[in-house]
Structure 1
Amino acid sequence: MPFISKIQRQSDYTLFGSATPIVIDNGASYFRIGWAGETQPRVVFRNIVQRPRHKTTGETVTIVGDHDPALLKYFDCTRSGPRSAFDSNVVYQFEIMEYILDFGFDRLGATGSEIDHPVLITECVCNPVQSRSKMGELLFETYGVPSIAFGVDAAFSYKYNQQQGVCDKDGLAMCPGFNTTHVIPFVDGEPIYKGCCRTNIGGFHVTDYLKQLLSLKYPYHMARFTWEKVEDLKMEHCYIAPDYASEARLFQKGAKEAEEKTRCWQLPWVPPPTEEPPSEEEIARKAAIKERQGQRLREMAEAKRSSRINELENELHGLEFLLKQLEQVEDSNVPSFLAATGYVSRQEIESARTKVTQSLRKAKGEPKNEQAETDKASPNANEKYSLINIPDDMLTTDQLIEKKKQLSLKSMSEGRQRLKQKRYEEELERERKQQLEDEKRLENPELYLEQLHARYKDLSEKVDQRKRLKTNGGHSNGNNLSGGIGRGERLNAAQRERMRLLTTAAFDRGKGEDTFGAKDEDWQLYKLMGKDNDDGDEEPDEDDAELARISSRLLDLDPTFVPNKSETGSSQPAEAPRARPLTKEDFQIVFGVERFRCPEILFNPNWIAVDQAGLDEMAGVSIRRLSCKDESLEERLTSSILVTGGSSLFPGIIERLEAGIRMIRPCGAPIKVVRALDPVMDAWRGAAAFASAPQFHTQTFSRMDYFEKGEDWLRSYQIKYSL
């Protein structure tokens, strides 16, 4: 079976005799395997399995524990995530456990399928007999081990620290592990399992809680919060607060102590390149390039303009020559002559000549002479609209249709002329007013500015008053302030009429048969109800235009002038928010309250919906379960409390446990809480020391016993830790 791992395979497996036991610390987080009598395990890896397929060959490979992330790009891991054989510190997936044992024995150096060494393997407290029997079946029948011994990891750690003089024979072993937390009382060096206590809270839940908090706080950096990285951040930054409430108040108030306890993780960030101002040579070079491009564009435009002028002049000469020829043609031959040219009448040729002349003047850049064009067009008006003054009874059907077209064209032409004349007069009036204002300003600038401010103030108040009346229906509360007016009073006349018609139409139907729409008058009512008839009670916007003109004038003349908020809000669009460039602070992960809030669930599991006792309460529960009346035994238990396991490495856990246990013990009772020498490795070291004792073979369960007595004999199997 192919394995992918960075762990090197041991080469001295054959140097150990068959009587040397193999020690396995089968934890929910890490798997440790080594030889009895040694101080360090030979192989340590994560107790997880992943089985992806190769993207090219399709072969399934086994990834156990730690692996090289660079190799994962060659495998399809979408359908195969990391899997564990544990459920709440109990092995229940023995298919995955077989992969882990295969990998452990392979990296230890075993060459064949048979393991001819006794095996000491750890398990949880009060492990179910089904899990123990399946583990025995796997080791005996798959690997052929000669004998097995099962022991509790926390008990081995307590015995190892007892031999080192850290704790006494009577005491409590508190083991906050990866998935669960156990408390085991020891009397005369042996664990009393009836006094054990377990809570389903451990380091896994602390890491998961920290991952959730960081993902909520920094959702745009969620890809950075991998499980391995959050685990490292937890062990590096988290701590147990002596008093959670007072610690939280420090961060709530933003005290100086809270700033000192805040930690920061800087993510990789590359500052944007700073743009240096261009040099004089660069500016001159760009200006020269721009000038050359402009010159080339001007030459192209001039060439195009010359070509256009030539085309228009040729077309104009052709039309004038055609008109001269048309004068020499007899009236009877005019239709045949025009049919050859593509024109219908003389008027059409003259109209085309006029358009070409105008286009030619525009191309040459000559100013328009509107008066001359008007005078020139006036004599031709009678020829162009020749049928307008002729009575209808003297015209044929086709001539009547042509007369209607001429009437329409004449009205449109006259309307355009009137509009041009009106614009011309308005422009003259505007220039005259502007000239008068400039004269006033030059005579007395201060007086002119004062009058302009007064005019602006009056118009502004007038416009605001009109807006208030439009909103509140012309009502006030006596203080020129808008009061609480109903919706009907805020409507204009057309809207109120529409609502009246709707109400009348609804009540006229009654409870009988609905016959609305049977009469033409009913459909006429729809037209009256339509919103298109809403002319509104709006006043002309001359005041708004004048106010905008005066405001623009004041902005030009008075630098201290500030327009009203209502005017700026109505006339200027809201500025869109600009994207802020990312800075170094945007790539910083700040750890504040999270440092002590996440490990606090060890003492308050109800924060993550686990209704069980906390770590300090478990000590009192375990003592009460012993049901002992000897007060001296309770004092001996609390005077030697050993904390072991990976989650006991949080700073401050010893002081917090001692304070919590003191709250449930009588005043003056001796309490001593100590941490193991190495909370992570002491369980394996204690098991290795136990397996190296000469009496170890008396504590094993052999393969012959398994075949003779069966799995049920494992129910009463229990080793003695005091050899």
Structure 2
Amino acid sequence: MNGSSSNHASSSSSPPRTNIVYIPEGGYDAQPQPAYDYHSLDGQDPSICIDNGAHSWRAGFSSMSTPYIDRPNIIAKYKERKFGRNLLLFGRDTEVDANSRSNVRSMYDGDLLIHSDLLECALDFTFCTLGIDSPKIEQPIVMTERLANPLFSRAMTSELLFELYNAPSVTFGIDSLFAFSRQKHQDGLAVSLGHHASTVIPVVNGRGIMSRSKRIPWGGAQASELMLKLAQLKYPSFPTKVTPSQATFMFRETCYFSTDYDEDIRSLADPSKLSEMTKIVQFPYTAPEVNEKTEAELAAAAERRKEQGKRLQEMQAKQRAQKLAAKVAELEEYKLLQSERSSFKKAEFLSRLQEMTPFESEAEMDIWIKKTEIEVRKKQRKDLGMEEEPEEEPVFPLVDRPDSELNEEEIKEKRRQRLMKAGWDARVRAREEKKKERERLEEEKRLEEEERTTNPTGWSSRLKEEQESVIVRIQERKKRKAQLGDRKSAAAQNRMKNIASLAAEDKTSNSKKRKKGEDDDGFGMDDSDWHVYREIGGDEESEAEEDDQLLLQSLESRLLQYDPSFTEEDTLTGRAEAKNKLINAFVRGGLPPGQKYDFDDMKLNHQLHLNVERIRVPETWFQPSMWGIDSAGLGEVAGWVLNGFEEEEKRRLMQCIFVTGGGANIPNLIPRMRNTLTPILPFRAPLKIVSSLDGGDPRLEAWRGMAEWSNTSEAKEARVTRAEYEEYGGEWLKEHRWGNVAP
């Protein structure tokens, strides 16, 4: 991806971060591997050793210490459009461009070798790279095969080697047993963590016991696929597509075996430990061009925002002052008119009043003047920072006078005063009730204070139980709201039925029911009809919700004040924050202390944060049932194989449990194997687990063992010659210590 190299380089200029893993950048320049100098083998008689694994293809002469060819076992055959040439790419060369990547194939289906044409391509590449330019292969060929290899796979390979390449002889053997052959022990257990399967083969008296071997249908390919699925599930909106090869890279670079999986999982409930465990996987990205502002420009922008806020406050204060001045001027005008009332006759004043003001009567104007005077004084006192004036008790002179003594205008005024008096009495009663409620609460507070002093434990327990019940009510109410938002939920269906039954109650009792076949209005059949029900429900908090929130705040504040064992983490807010911290650590953990996740940062958006996945994916080797594999785990199978032998043989086998294959490179494999096997094997029996003879790469142990064994007399006796192939067929094989047995 263009521009990604500069992004990675810029990040490397800062102090190194051990918890960041960088995905290899796209694009691969195919470098042709030089052909080996085949003629330098004059006077030597080495064998051609080929480790044909489901993931990697390793080949070379037995005189070499390491394989000359070590490539992924994938092939791309296609016709180049530009020059019209037929191309054959092998291994990593298939990543050279998009056209080659789209034509990648494997000769394996799972761990079964089925594609002879691709095997032929791999052999062509191998012999050409080894410098063999003759039409006939002169050296014997030693090749690996899977445990209990089907006859058709062996026959297909033998036919190619004998018929097409004229090989003098061919020998097949199991890769994990070839790796075990390098050990000094004659007894042991060959454990292979392969690409598509894992195998456990016991070795007794220097010979593999095929009848007691076991196979687990889980390997590196399934682990990489699981890592890919977990990453997609965790980051469904990741800006780039995570490829299988990138998932394999993440699995190999970040995962490790947990020595105590259950305990480690429980410990990750602590967000800090989850963050410490996190590995950040940085994907390549193209950084957009951004014109960064200088500190002076940022300071000037902040000053401008500050000035704008100050001007806005001044404008609002000015508008309030203008409205108050207009109200005062209007009040003075009406008060002046009110003072001229005595100089006019009543009819003249009423006519003048209706002409100059919006009021219909003198009483209406008097009420407005009184109300406005109170409002103006309140605003003026508020602007000056003074307390509000106590409310004066209003006077209702016409309420107690009989209607016979009043004219029509005064009767109307009496009705208005009666309504105002009723409102005033209601407010007085409300104040009295509030006063009594305050007295009751003070009494309850006194009793509670007494209980807290005499029985602090019981007081705290009672408040905690009440807090839990309130939290449960709040959570149930939120859950019900969420269910009501889903039209298919049981709660929404019940509400619909209730609303429908209420809507039907307006029918009279003697109305006839709708007969069968009559048309229904169809209300509720369309999604838009459900908006009506949502409007009926409302989104505002109910009074019960508000009361629960206030009660919860009161309970938690008292517990925080008087109960030392009750902390902020025990409150509802603290619980939510703890949950959010755990989620943030799971999704965005591993960031430096104090750094917040910026959703606009392109670099952070192209990061995967792996924590639980680092131990969850490898754990499947020991617990395949976690991901739906109906099989026992690696440790359980190894223990079952060992316990199937007599005590003396078992102790000899326990002295050399040899682990090989690509999965053996995952850290902590040997400690995890030891922790799993120790409880199911004899008490305090010596147990030795190794993964490489000289501390090298366990992936190469099979090829090295094959190369060393091919020079022995046993290997020469185990060769299937061309004459034997022509007589017995491709299924024919000679049994030896490190190979499959005859069917």
TM-score, normalised by the number of residues in structure 2? 0.56
1:55 positional shift = 4.8
Asked whether the 8 Å contact 1:147–1:702 carries over to 2, the reply is yes
Asked whether the 8 Å contact 1:53–1:77 carries over to 2, the reply is no
* 1:275 correspondence with 2:293: yes
Query: Could you report, residue by residue, the CA deviation over 1:164-218 in whole angstroms, capped at 9, with x for unpaired residues?
Result: xxxx111111111111111111122221222211111111122211121112112
1:11 positional shift = 3.9
SS in 1 for 2:240: helix
Question: What is the CA–CA distance in structure 1 between the aligned matches of 2:68 and 2:502, rounded to whole Å?
Answer: 91
1:435 positional shift = 8.3
- The residue identity in structure 2 corresponding to 1:701 is V
SS in 1 for 2:137: coil
* 1:192 correspondence with 2:209: yes
Change beyond 3 A, Cα 1:434–1:196: same
Q: CA RMSD in A?
A: 4.4
Q: Which residue of 2 aligns with 1:15?
A: 40
- The residue identity in structure 2 corresponding to 1:252 is A
Residues 309-324 of structure 1 mapped to structure 2, 5 A cutoff: none
Query: Could you report, residue by residue, the CA deviation over 1:409-448 in whole angstroms, capped at 9, with x for unpaired residues?
Result: xxxxxxxxxxxx999969xx9x999986786468766577
For 1:160, which of 182, 201, 211 is the aligned residue? 182
Query: Could you report, residue by residue, the CA deviation over 1:306-344 in whole angstroms, capped at 9, with x for unpaired residues?
Result: xxxxxxxxxxxxxxxxxxxxxxxxxxxxxxxxxxxxxxx
Q: Which residue of 1 aligns with 2:506?
A: 500
Residues 643-658 of structure 1 mapped to structure 2, 5 A cutoff: 643-658=659-674
- The residue identity in structure 2 corresponding to 1:686 is G
1:126 positional shift = 2.2
Change beyond 3 A, Cα 1:52–1:501: farther
Q: Which residue of 2 aligns with 1:42?
A: 68
Asked whether the 8 Å contact 2:111–2:146 carries over to 1, the reply is yes
Change beyond 3 A, Cα 1:423–1:131: farther
For 2:686, which of 670, 673, 693 is the aligned residue? 670
1:504 positional shift = 6.2
- The residue identity in structure 1 corresponding to 2:130 is L
1:278 positional shift = 7.2
Query: Could you report, residue by residue, the CA deviation over 1:12-39 in whole angstroms, capped at 9, with x for unpaired residues?
Result: 1233358432110111110011011210
Q: Which residue of 2 aligns with 1:697?
A: 716
Q: Which residue of 1 aligns with 2:677?
A: 661
SS in 2 for 1:198: strand
* 1:135 correspondence with 2:153: no
- The residue identity in structure 2 corresponding to 1:613 is A
Question: What is the CA–CA distance in structure 2 between the aligned matches of 1:275 and 1:213, rounded to whole Å?
Answer: 40
1:141 positional shift = 1.0
Asked whether the 8 Å contact 1:170–1:186 carries over to 2, the reply is yes
Question: What is the CA–CA distance in structure 2 between the aligned matches of 1:129 and 1:619, rounded to whole Å?
Answer: 27
Question: What is the CA–CA distance in structure 1 between the aligned matches of 2:671 and 2:50, rounded to whole Å?
Answer: 32
* 1:114 correspondence with 2:132: no
Q: Which residue of 1 aligns with 2:270?
A: 253
Question: What is the CA–CA distance in structure 2 between the aligned matches of 1:505 and 1:450, rounded to whole Å?
Answer: 59
Change beyond 3 A, Cα 1:449–1:135: farther
Query: Could you report, residue by residue, the CA deviation over 1:139-179 in whole angstroms, capped at 9, with x for unpaired residues?
Result: 111222111111111111111133xxxxx111111111111
Question: What is the CA–CA distance in structure 2 between the aligned matches of 1:152 and 1:176, rounded to whole Å?
Answer: 13
1:41 positional shift = 0.8
Asked whether the 8 Å contact 2:256–2:614 carries over to 1, the reply is yes
Q: Which residue of 2 aligns with 1:582?
A: 600
Question: What is the CA–CA distance in structure 1 between the aligned matches of 2:246 and 2:151, rounded to whole Å?
Answer: 36
Question: What is the CA–CA distance in structure 1 between the aligned matches of 2:703 and 2:355, rounded to whole Å?
Answer: 103
* 1:175 correspondence with 2:201: no
Q: Which residue of 2 aligns with 1:296?
A: none
1:66 positional shift = 0.6
Which structure 2 segments of 5+ residues have no match? 1-28, 302-353, 360-364, 395-419, 431-493, 520-596
Change beyond 3 A, Cα 1:686–1:444: closer
Q: Which residue of 1 aligns with 2:615?
A: 596
Asked whether the 8 Å contact 1:171–1:185 carries over to 2, the reply is yes
TM-score, normalised by the number of residues in structure 1? 0.57
- The residue identity in structure 2 corresponding to 1:232 is F
* 1:103 correspondence with 2:125: yes
Deviates more, 1:258-267 or 1:113-122: 258-267
1:231 positional shift = 2.1
Asked whether the 8 Å contact 2:142–2:170 carries over to 1, the reply is yes
* 1:65 correspondence with 2:91: yes
1:57 positional shift = 5.4
* 1:33 correspondence with 2:49: no
Q: Which residue of 2 aligns with 1:607?
A: 626
Asked whether the 8 Å contact 1:6–1:68 carries over to 2, the reply is no
How many percent of aligned residue pairs carry the same amino acid? Answer: 28
Query: Could you report, residue by residue, the CA deviation over 1:569-601 in whole angstroms, capped at 9, with x for unpaired residues?
Result: xxxxxxxxxx97423554432221111111011
Asked whether the 8 Å contact 1:53–1:76 carries over to 2, the reply is no
Residues 202-601 of structure 1 mapped to structure 2, 5 A cutoff: 202-221=219-238, 223=240, 225-254=242-271, 256=273, 258-268=274-284, 270=287, 273-276=291-294, 440=377, 446=386, 500=506, 506-507=512-513, 581-583=599-601, 585-601=604-620
Query: Could you report, residue by residue, the CA deviation over 1:468-490 in whole angstroms, capped at 9, with x for unpaired residues?
Result: xxxxxxxxxxxxxxxxxx999x9
Asked whether the 8 Å contact 1:32–1:43 carries over to 2, the reply is yes
Question: What is the CA–CA distance in structure 1 between the aligned matches of 2:390 and 2:614, rounded to whole Å?
Answer: 65
Question: What is the CA–CA distance in structure 1 between the aligned matches of 2:510 and 2:658, rounded to whole Å?
Answer: 88
SS in 1 for 2:716: helix
Deviates more, 1:431-440 or 1:121-130: 431-440
1:53 positional shift = 4.7
1:133 positional shift = 1.2
Asked whether the 8 Å contact 2:170–2:719 carries over to 1, the reply is yes
Question: What is the CA–CA distance in structure 2 between the aligned matches of 1:245 and 1:499, rounded to whole Å?
Answer: 59
Q: Which residue of 2 aligns with 1:713?
A: 732
- The residue identity in structure 2 corresponding to 1:500 is D
Change beyond 3 A, Cα 1:196–1:441: closer
Question: What is the CA–CA distance in structure 1 between the aligned matches of 2:611 and 2:118, rounded to whole Å?
Answer: 39
Question: What is the CA–CA distance in structure 2 between the aligned matches of 1:263 and 1:510, rounded to whole Å?
Answer: 69
Asked whether the 8 Å contact 2:208–2:737 carries over to 1, the reply is no
* 1:639 correspondence with 2:655: yes
Asked whether the 8 Å contact 1:195–1:623 carries over to 2, the reply is no
Asked whether the 8 Å contact 2:239–2:606 carries over to 1, the reply is no
Residues paired across the two proteins, number: 474
Asked whether the 8 Å contact 1:161–1:676 carries over to 2, the reply is no
- The residue identity in structure 2 corresponding to 1:645 is G
Deviates more, 1:650-659 or 1:601-610: 650-659
For 2:699, which of 680, 691, 696 is the aligned residue? 680
1:499 positional shift = 5.7
Which structure 1 segments of 5+ residues have no match? 163-167, 284-420, 466-485, 517-578
- The residue identity in structure 2 corresponding to 1:153 is D
- The residue identity in structure 1 corresponding to 2:236 is P
Question: What is the CA–CA distance in structure 2 between the aligned matches of 1:127 and 1:262, rounded to whole Å?
Answer: 41
Change beyond 3 A, Cα 1:20–1:448: closer
Change beyond 3 A, Cα 1:499–1:53: farther
Change beyond 3 A, Cα 1:132–1:434: same
SS in 2 for 1:141: helix
SS in 2 for 1:160: coil
Question: What is the CA–CA distance in structure 1 between the aligned matches of 2:605 and 2:356, rounded to whole Å?
Answer: 58
Deviates more, 1:85-94 or 1:592-601: 85-94
- The residue identity in structure 2 corresponding to 1:713 is W
Change beyond 3 A, Cα 1:447–1:701: closer
Q: Which residue of 2 aligns with 1:91?
A: 113
